[in-house]
Each structure stands twice: as structure tokens, then as C-alpha cells.
Amino acid sequence: MNLLHGLFSVLFIVEFSELQGKHGFFSQALLKGEVIENMSQAKFVAGIHTPANHPNDINKKITRRCTAFILSKTEIITNAHCVYDAPYVYVVADTKVVSDVNQKFKIKVEKENIAWHPHYSHLIFGAFDIAKITLKTPLEFSDTVGSIELVDKDYKLNNQSEVVTVYGYGVMNNTGPLILRRCDANFMSDVERANTFKTSQTLYFTTGEATNDGEIITPGDSGGPVVSKTNGKIVGITTGYGTTGGRGMFLPITLFLDFIHDPKSVKPIPPPLTPNEAKFIADITVPGKFLTAYKEDFADAGENAQLKFNAIILSKTEILTCAHSVLGAPYVYVTVNKLSRNATELKVTEDQIEIHEKYALSRFAFNVAKITLEEPLKFNDNVGSIDLVDKDYKMNDPSEMVTVYGDMILDGTMRTRRYDTKYLDGAKCKPILGAAFDANYLMCYTLNGSMGTPSTFGGPMISKKNNKLVGMTIFHSSDEPVVFQPIAPLLDWIRKPNVRRNQRRRMA
């Protein structure tokens, strides 16, 4: 399962002659799509601009100008980077050109009526880059000012033949003007996206080349709507353009419906863990060419290609992780004290790794491996172990809270975090996950995207009731429950000596 990490540019207009003249910051981006001559064709599109010299503008010379769309008479949606930390912005509607003059509708909106996604970070462009503006005075709808609907939560961005229309006040050259245009494009396949953008976060979807003349996205298009030509509804919001031509990168609107309907319903990002809080979590680094479970994805992997997984420190000599993470690798690297500057990396060879004898790639059950270290770890404030639950521990209380630990992508970067959730009985996940899910040995929990999405496997699940290890994450995807391996049924296997290693020692 690939995690794609994207490269893209921030799309706001900088009215700063030195920056533009000397560096040609936006000279590469020209959109030649259809110019909107009649606003009735795009009555749901609005413009945003934040005047320069506001108190939070450090440079005192920057004006941000973006696109937005009208959701209702009082609701405007745009990018977070277009409004972030500004004490006020202006919303303009019924206009073919975004400027400071001659606007039919120019509404000043104060900061208290602007909500950007709580997971957005201005330091990491693109991720969770969405904001909602609430107008105190409702817009007057007409033939040239109106709203547009959002797609439903179950809408899937998987039809490459579907055409979407991207709208935006894209700039034609370094100085403007910002003229409203639209441009048609198709969805990119995952393979084409990977080849084009190399790595791109799963938060985004991308388009291929425009079906009409020109590139898709240019500066000024930030926050613009992406509309399905099939149903006429919003499917995405522009957040950036890729390093290849003008291919667009967009946030799927389905991921942000909760925020759009009620910004306060989305909880802030849990902070990254301190080294002490993550002292029982380790990392497993595997050279890509050895990844048996990812053979197709890493068929052409070179010496430097690698993938990281989480692991759990059980004792000074025992590390627990997923079987599929280490299967077939003649060696891997274990990193302890991972969040500290004094992190320690240990090379572990195949004879130190034992995979559960019942594990098979075709299913999830018994997806567990134990690593036995040559030299005991030195425990301290940042390196330690976690206790295991007893063998008779039963996961039969649906009200019990557990804490999931692991590397998660929330603000555009992968960090080690934790969040609380409730587990589900395996029988409830069986119909969703199919034959590979064995409810006799596995359980699951619902994905809480607003608090965190595990991005690696092997992370611990700890009971808040007894503070002991009750499970380990072994599988997840963006739209399915997370599968975890309960620890209690595996205690006999976990506690037995490394048979494989002892056999090799006797042979030696």
C-alpha cells in the first residue's frame, strides 16, 4: 500500500515587484482555458483577497488573492492559506476579474467569521488547506450570483472517464489581471499520478492534462471549485499544481464535509508524542527490494528504497512487529529512542526474526513477528517496554476506550501520535473486509480521520483501563475499518524462545 507524498506550489498572488521581477515566480504557469464571459455560467464562484499591510502581514507588501465558491447565501469555501491569520478578508461575487475596484459585491469579513481547518498548518502547504467564511449579511441571489451543491460522502473519485471542470481566477502573467476561467480535465489514475508526481499524499486527487487548451491550474486559482460534469456538484477544491506542467492537485471534498457543515465538530490535531511518551515504540526499516508483501510496488526498488513500519518494545531483547513488514528480508534495521536526537539504529539479521507459523500473505490473521536482539537495550526515560495483557483478557466491552499509537499523517507530515477510540467486534467488520478477515482471531476499530490516520503498521493499541498492550495495528485503508491483532491469543507464541535462532546456534 503506497503512501504518496506530494510536491506542489502555493497558489496565491504576491504583489511584490521585487519578488516577481527578479525571480519570475509565476512565469511558468499560464492557463489558456475558457474565459467566463457571462457570470451566469459560474454564478457560484467568488473571489477572495486579503489587503496588504494588515497587522499580521510581516512583509507589509503581500496581497493574497484566491478563488472561492458559494455554498449558500452565508457560506463561502476557499483555501486556508488564502485567509490564514488575516484579521479580515474581502469576498467578491458576480465578477469576472478579482481586483480592488468596481466590484458589485465586496464584503468585508472579520477574523471571527473565518474558520480554517484545525489540522491546517501554514508551514506545510496543501494539507487540510480548506477554510469556511460565514457572512453576517446574506448574499442576494440572482442570475449571476448563486450556490452550488456538494457531492455526498460516499462519492468515489475512481472513474477516470469522468470529466471535471476546474474554475479559478488564474493569472495570465506575473502581474495579472486575475480573470475567471474554467478548464476541463479527467481524473488521473493512481499509476499515472505516481509516475507524474512521484509521491503524493493520499489526501489529494489529481487530474491529467486538460481536455481543452492549456494548463489546468495557475496562481490565483487556489480555493476554486472542481465540479463534476456528470452531476454538476462540487467534488474537490484546488490546493496546488504539480511539478509537471499544470496538472492540478485537489482536496477531495468528501473528506471535509464534517468541517464544512460544522467547523467546530473537527477536533484539533493531537500533538506529536514526546520521546518519553513513545519510549515503547520502535521503527522497523526494510530495504524495498526485500519487501515480499509489496513485491509489485517495489519490483524496481534500488538499494536506497526503503519502507518504515512501527514496532513495539516488549523487553530489553524482544521487539514485536507485523509479519508482512519483515517477511523475506535477510536483514532489517530497528530504531529505538526514535523521537530523540540520540536514536539508536540496530541491524537485525534474518535468524533474529521469527514469523508466526500460521501467517500467510493472503490473509490478515497471525500477522505478527518477533525480533530477538543480540545485545539487551539500555532502558532509560526514552526507551522502555510495555506490559502485555493477561491471557484471559476479553475484548467484549464496546464502551472500553483504547489508545492507538503510531506514525500518522495529519498536517502534511508523518509524525508519531496517539488517539483514543473504541474497538468493534470482528463480526461487524467481516462483511466489510471480506474473506481475508478472520473474526475468530482479529478485531477492528473505526477510522477516526479527524483525530488521526495510522500511516504505518505495527503500532500498539493500549487499554486505557489497565495501561497494557491489547493489540497491534496490522491493516488499514482510507475507507475501511482498521484491523488489529489482539495480543491475548498470541501470548504463548510471543513468550516462547526464538526457536529458529536457537536451531541455528546449535548448527553453528
Q: How far apart are CA 214 and CA 211, in angstroms?
A: 8
CA dist 487 and 164 (Å) reads: 47
80-90 confidence digits (pLDDT tens): 988 888 889 99
| pLDDT digit string, tens, across residues 212-267 | 444 455 667 889 999 998 899 999 898 765 444 445 677 889 889 999 999 988 87
Cα–Cα distances in angstroms (integers) from residue 91 to residues 14, 84, 99, 134, 161, in the given order: 18, 14, 11, 10, 34
CATH of 401-492, one of 3.10.150.10, 3.30.930.10, 1.10.645.10, 2.40.10.10: 2.40.10.10
Name 116's bridge partners: 131
- In this prediction, residue 251 carries a pLDDT of 83
Query: Distance between CA 93 and CA 47 in Å, rounded?
Result: 6
Model confidence at 162, pLDDT cuts 50, 70, 90, reads confident
pLDDT at 337 > cutoff 70: yes
The per-residue pLDDT for 197 is 47
Owner of C-alpha cell 504463548: 492
Cell of 192: 499515472
Common-topology check for domains 17-265 and 281-372:
yes
Is the distance from CB of 229 to CB of 75 less than 8 angstroms?
Answer: no
Q: What is the mean pLDDT of the chain?
A: 76
Which spans in 241-345 are helix H? 257-261, 323-326
Q: How confident is the model at residue 210 (pLDDT cuts 50, 70, 90)?
A: very low
Q: Is the pTM of this model over 0.85?
A: no
Q: Where are the domains of the chain?
A: 17-265, 281-372, 401-492
- Separation of alpha carbons 408 and 63, rounded Å: 34
In whole angstroms, give the CA distance from residue 382 to residue 379.
Answer: 8
Let me know: does 130 contact 87? Beta carbons within 8 Å: no
Q: Kindly provide the b/e burial profile for residues 393-423, where b requires at least 16 CB atoms within 10 angstroms of the residue's own CB.
A: bebeeeeeebebbbbbbbbbebbbbbbebeb
Q: Does domain 281-372 have CATH number 2.40.10.10?
A: yes
Query: What is the DSSP-derived secondary structure letter of residue 265?
Result: G
> What are the b/e assignments for 455-482, b being 16+ CB within 10 Å?
bbbbbbbbbeeeeebbbbbbbbeeebbb
Residues with Cβ within 8 Å of 56's Cβ and at least 6 positions away in sequence, in order, are: 85, 86, 87
Query: 471 with 443: CB under 8 angstroms?
Result: yes
Closest Cα to residue 81, out of 15, 46, 8, 130? 130
* Fold (topology level) of 17-265: Thrombin, subunit H (2.40.10)
At residue 436 the predicted structure's pLDDT band, cuts being 50, 70 and 90, is: confident
Question: With helix as H, strand as E and coil as C, how does 96-119 read?
Answer: CEECCCCCCEEEEEEHHHEEECCC
For the stretch 340-398, pLDDT in tens is 888 999 999 999 999 999 988 877 789 999 999 999 999 999 999 999 999 888 776 76
Is residue 475 predicted with pLDDT exceeding 90?
A: no
pLDDT digits (tens, 9 = 90+) for 426-435: 677 777 777 7
Cβ–Cβ < 8 Å for 309, 416: no
